Amino acid sequence: MLFINKLYIYTIIIVAICVLFCYFFFNGFKKAYVMPIFNTREELNNNASWKSYFEDIYYDIPAVTGISDGLSNYPLDTSDFFLLYKEPLDDAGIYIGSEFISNSCKEIEVKNNIVSTIMNNWSTRDKEEYWLNKLRPFNCLPDNTFTEIVHTQGDPMGGGTWMYNVKGSGIWFDVGKSICYRDHQDAVTEQLGKKCDDGGCDKHLVELMSTLAGKGYKSVQFTEHGDQHCGLRAMEIVHTTGRGFYACGFNPDDSDFGTCVAATFKAGWEHNYGCSCDSSRTVLNCDFTVT
């Protein structure tokens, strides 16, 4: 009887160990989702799913060569994108299974292109998103560069419109005359001659944006401010004169609201469409307008 009881206990222990091992093995090591590469415009045009997705986000699929720079848009590697919108993916018949999705920091911090569903700890979103993880470093953008961004209303900073540089959003911002720093402290020290306390630099940021705007800077970039889920995952870009409290970066009650948004944000593959932003939503958004 004693032998049987011991055997029973040992069996339970072995089974428990096997179950735990399998759980952590299969949940701790997610596969990277394989994103397609389209070598020609014809290849993309013949892929009904991705053609539909890109037309939903960008209104069209990219031309053979860029309108603004004349360079080839192909091959088009979709793994270069950071943001993918779940609903348009579903509508296009593109499904990313749970076996590819992980919000584990131990994976996000070391794996490029791991798919996650969280990017920022405090942001609220009005639609589900996938984030195709990108590893540092992030590089400063030259003046007058159009780049894709995202923004959520209710900036806690109080000055400027705080955005993340995110390829795949379908919303473009021209950085204009821009200045670039590693982190907030570097900008506060150089521009204001002040130090940030243990609570961070938040109390200096309204003055910082005002100072930079007064010097003619349309934007400031921060390449290493890691306040996202699992630390540094995206570069910050701040529109110095914007009003980030609002979803569209401007007060919707201002008489020139529509003009401001259309002039500042663009849509389309090559930012060649105007932006009509719905201020009732919680995030910056763009419906296409012909300019």
**Element holding 143 (H helix, E strand):** none
Residue 67: the pLDDT is 81
**Domain check: are 202 and 234 in the same one?**
yes
State yes or no: pLDDT of 184 exceeds 90: yes
pLDDT confidence of 277, banded at 50, 70, 90? very high
**Domain check: are 89 and 4 in the same one?**
no
Q: For residue range 60-96, what is the model confidence (pLDDT) as tens digits?
A: 999 999 887 888 999 999 999 999 999 999 999 999 9
**Domain check: are 149 and 277 in the same one?**
yes
**239, 199 in Cβ contact below 8 A?**
no
State yes or no: pLDDT of 15 exceeds 90: no
What percent of the chain has pLDDT above 90?
68
Residue 158: the pLDDT is 67
Residue 4: the pLDDT is 58
Residue 89: the pLDDT is 96
Residue 37: the pLDDT is 97
DSSP 78: G
**Domain check: are 114 and 145 in the same one?**
yes
**Domain check: are 118 and 6 in the same one?**
no
Q: For residue range 89-143, what is the model confidence (pLDDT) as tens digits?
A: 999 999 998 888 999 999 999 988 889 999 885 555 667 899 999 988 999 999 9
**Domain check: are 85 and 172 in the same one?**
yes
Task: Tell how strand 83-85 and strand 115-116 pair up.
Answer: unpaired
**Domain check: are 19 and 81 in the same one?**
no
**Domain check: are 7 and 70 in the same one?**
no
Structure tokens at 64: 């053979």
Q: Which domain holds residue 52?
A: 37-289
Residue 159: the pLDDT is 84
Calculate the alpha carbon distances from 264 to 34, 49, 144, 155 in Å.
Answer: 34, 31, 12, 18
| Alpha-carbon Rg for the chain in angstroms | 23
pLDDT confidence of 29, banded at 50, 70, 90? low
**Domain check: are 17 and 157 in the same one?**
no
* CA–CA separation, 214 and 211 (whole Å): 5
In a 3-state reduction of DSSP, which class is residue 91?
helix
Mean pLDDT score across all residues of the chain: 88
**Domain check: are 24 and 45 in the same one?**
no
**Total number of domains in the chain:** 2
**Domain check: are 83 and 118 in the same one?**
yes
Query: What strands, in cross-sheet order, belong to the sheet with 172-174?
Result: 178-181, 219-222, 236-239, 161-165, 146-150, 172-174, 265-267, 273-276, 287-289
* Ordered alpha helix ranges (H), 148-232: 184-192, 205-214
**276, 291 in Cβ contact below 8 A?**
no
**Element holding 14 (H helix, E strand):** helix 2-28
**Domain check: are 61 and 198 in the same one?**
yes
Residue 70: the pLDDT is 83
The predicted model gives 266-276 an average pLDDT of: 94
pLDDT confidence of 16, banded at 50, 70, 90? low
* Ordered alpha helix ranges (H), 167-272: 184-192, 205-214, 257-264
State yes or no: pLDDT of 237 exceeds 90: yes
Q: 106-120, 159-173, 271-285: lowest mean pLDDT where?
A: 106-120
